Structure 1
Amino acid sequence: MKKLLLATALLSSTALTGCVVAVTDGEYNGHHSWKKEQRENREKISQLKIGTEYQSVLSKLGTPEYTDMVSKGDTVYQVLYFATNSKHSDGVVTKDECTPLLFKDSKLVGFGDTAMAHLL
């Protein structure tokens, strides 16, 4: 009986040799995935119009990489950062690899570094 179990175990292990299991943790699934997503983000951002509602932008672009919010007087500014220009696929997106979208009282007032400069 022991010899039969040993033979079965040996045969099973050789049958499994070479099996590969791919597991991801939600990060980009390859070189082309992050580039495609960022190209799509650039295309969607370029089609936005001044005055677009905050929720509408979220519906079109999905969850941003980062968000900021600040109040100046009676005005609330929100900034959404979407990945648009990563240099390499290290799985980490920093703010300098994103395009900021600036909202004033929940309406889009601009995007990019020029819009942010007006906030400061």
Structure 2
Amino acid sequence: MISLAPYLAVVLLMLSAAGCVVIQSDGDSGHDWREEEQDNRSAISGMQIGMTRDEVQQKIGSPRDSESYRRGEDTMLVWFYRTHRTKADGETTRDEMTPLVFRDGVLIGWGEQVYLSSR
């Protein structure tokens, strides 16, 4: 008769190890969402009013989402960066992002109030 004990031990070891794996990517191709949020908050805290689009992009990278519109004679551009998770649903929505608002290519501010007042 063949002993199943060694096989059972291997299976139990595999199952216990599998339970220890935690993946926090939230669908972001392996990049930890906490890291991304922290990096973005840190970069935004170092922003200065008057920076150009290029300067901001060099500092923080490409936005998750963006929009552009005209306000009178001004061209408004809003870049959205993920900064705070509100619910674990695998999706990043605008309520989880901080808007950076540009007027004619120059940063005029960031945050929800600046975004709403620029509309």
What secondary structure does 1:114 align onto?
helix
C-alpha distance in 1, partners of 2:105/2:49? 11
Amino acid at match of 2:112: D
The question of 1:87 aligning with 2:66 is answered no
% identical aligned pairs: 31
- The aligned residue for residue 29 of structure 1 is 30
Aligned pair count reads: 97
- The aligned residue for residue 7 of structure 1 is none
Amino acid at match of 1:27: D
Amino acid at match of 1:61: I
Partner deviation per Cα, 1:65-113 (whole Å, 9 max, x = no partner): 1100001222100000000001345432100000000000100000001
C-alpha distance in 1, partners of 2:113/2:93? 19
Q: Higher Cα Rg: structure 1 or 2?
A: 1
- The answer to whether the Cα contact below 8 Å between 2:86 and 2:95 also exists between their aligned partners in 1 is no
37-46 vs 80-89, greater mean Cα deviation:
80-89
C-alpha distance in 2, partners of 1:87/1:60? 25
The list of structure 1 runs, each at least 4 consecutive aligned residues, that deviate by more than 4 angstroms after superposition, is: none
Amino acid at match of 2:54: Q
- The answer to whether the Cα contact below 8 Å between 1:101 and 1:112 also exists between their aligned partners in 2 is yes
Distance 1:28 1:38, change over 3 A: farther
Matches within 5 A, 1:1-120: 27-29=28-30, 33-120=32-119
C-alpha distance in 2, partners of 1:66/1:115? 17
- The answer to whether the Cα contact below 8 Å between 2:50 and 2:108 also exists between their aligned partners in 1 is yes
Q: Which consecutive unaligned segments of at least 5 residues does structure 1 have?
A: 1-17, 19-23
Task: Report the RMSD for the aligned CA atoms in angstroms.
Answer: 2.3
C-alpha distance in 1, partners of 2:116/2:101? 10
Distance 1:62 1:80, change over 3 A: same
Cα deviation, residue 43, structure 1? 0.8
